[in-house]
């Protein structure tokens, strides 16, 4: 197996699905990329269930995801972490930002933010209305101050990425009005606590990465290396998801699904009769440089 000596001793990757339904092809491709990259570099591969957004969690979905990963021969290291059990860690991180006056309460409604007229890469940009206080208004959320924050990083596939958080995103939410911690804060805290060194995931999260790096810096946490693979889209150019009626991966047909996922990722697997044989080849022959340098790509399945 080919090992990169400068990464193998410290590599710790992870796959972190949200249990909003069964895994479809796009999620499987991301899992295959993270697993192959971790094992190729002699690293660990952890699984974390990102169920912090409890209103969107589907009962039984986490168990189905774990069963599919097992059927696909992807064996995780260590214990599985569930974000729904980690509120205390997120409380501590938010309190740290509050103590240093880096986070503030916001009383603005979605309509008020939309009426600001400022547009960014993901919709309306929050203009910092409540930075100086909310007066007698009830607080709806906690936000982080992004003034002057310009974040750049090198992605192993997508290249150099630069984002001006203040103008492209705005002061983003850390704790929501429905008393749920935002994904951006939770993932940063969890990656640091689990010692994650390398994050391999779909490019639908590429625009989130500068926010996460910003929070890592504010909290004094290390920044992992990043690799974002193309997002699988259907014939209409829509990301595969439950909303676009993407079909779940059938555990009974795991082997052909893995082959298609590797082909989607630019690898060229020969024919194999068993999943262990396929993984032996895939881990030894995984090449980052073959992964398509695109944010989206048509799904084959």
Structure confidence at residue 2 (pLDDT): 33
For the whole prediction, is pTM greater than 0.85? yes
- Kindly report, residue by residue over 19-53, the tens digit of the pLDDT: 988 888 889 999 999 999 999 999 999 999 999 98
- Give the helix ranges, DSSP H, for 149-289: 165-168, 183-193, 209-219, 254-264, 275-285
Structure confidence at residue 52 (pLDDT): 92
Q: At what angle do helices 275-285 and 25-40 cross, to 10 degrees?
A: 60
- Kindly report, residue by residue over 42-51, the tens digit of the pLDDT: 999 999 999 9
The CB density around residue 189, as the number of other CB atoms within 10 Å, is 23
- Kindly report, residue by residue over 169-204, the tens digit of the pLDDT: 999 999 998 899 999 999 999 999 999 999 999 999
Q: Which residue, 106, 10, 38, 13, is CA-closest to 286? A: 38
What SS3 state is found at 26? Answer: helix
Per-residue pLDDT at 8 exceeds 60:
no
| Whether the Cβ atoms of residue 201 and residue 174 lie closer than 8 Å to each other | no
Determine how β-strand 141-144 pairs with β-strand 231-233. Answer: unpaired
The contacts of residue 153 (CB under 8 Å, 6+ apart) are 160, 161, 209, 210, 213, 223, 226
| Whether the Cβ atoms of residue 12 and residue 76 lie closer than 8 Å to each other | no
Q: What's the rounded Cα separation, in Å, for the pair 152 and 213?
A: 9
Beta-bridged to residue 299, according to DSSP, are: none
Structural domains in the chain, sorted by start: 5-86+231-298 (3.40.50.620)
Tell me the pLDDT band of 122, cut-offs 50, 70 and 90.
confident
Q: Which residue, 14, 7, 20, 29, is CA-closest to 282? A: 29
């Amino acid at each position: 197996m080919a090992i990169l000596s400068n990464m193998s001793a410290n590599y710790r990757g992870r796959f972190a699905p949200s249990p909003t339904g069964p895994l479809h092809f796009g999620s499987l491709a991301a899992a295959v990329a993270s697993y192959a990259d971790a094992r190729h570099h002699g690293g660990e591969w952890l699984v974390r269930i990102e169920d912090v957004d409890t209103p969107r969690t589907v009962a039984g979905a986490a168990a189905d995801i774990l069963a599919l990963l097992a059927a696909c021969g992807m064996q995780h290291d260590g214990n599985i972490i569930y974000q729904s059990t980690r509120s205390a860690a997120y409380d501590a991180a938010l309190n740290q930002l509050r103590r240093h006056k880096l986070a503030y309460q916001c009383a603005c409604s979605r309509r008020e933010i939309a009426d600001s007229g400022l547009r960014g890469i993901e919709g309306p940009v929050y203009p910092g209305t409540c930075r100086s206080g909310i007066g007698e208004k009830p607080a709806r959320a906690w936000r982080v101050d992004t003034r002057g924050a310009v974040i750049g990083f090198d992605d192993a596939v997508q290249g150099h990425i630069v984002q001006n958080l203040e103008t492209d995103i705005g002061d983003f939410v850390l704790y929501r009005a429905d008393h749920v911690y935002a994904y951006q804060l939770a993932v940063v805290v969890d990656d640091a606590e689990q010692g994650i060194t390398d994050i391999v995931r779909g490019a639908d999260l590429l625009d989130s990465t500068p926010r996460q790096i910003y929070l890592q810096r504010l909290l004094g946490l290390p920044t992992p290396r990043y690799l974002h693979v193309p997002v699988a889209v259907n014939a209409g150019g829509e990301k595969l998801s439950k909303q676009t009626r993407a079909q779940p991966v059938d555990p009974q047909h795991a082997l052909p699904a893995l082959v298609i996922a590797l082909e989607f990722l630019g690898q060229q697997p020969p024919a194999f009769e068993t999943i262990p044989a396929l993984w032996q080849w895939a881990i030894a022959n995984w090449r980052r440089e073959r992964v398509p340098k695109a944010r989206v790509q048509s799904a084959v399945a």
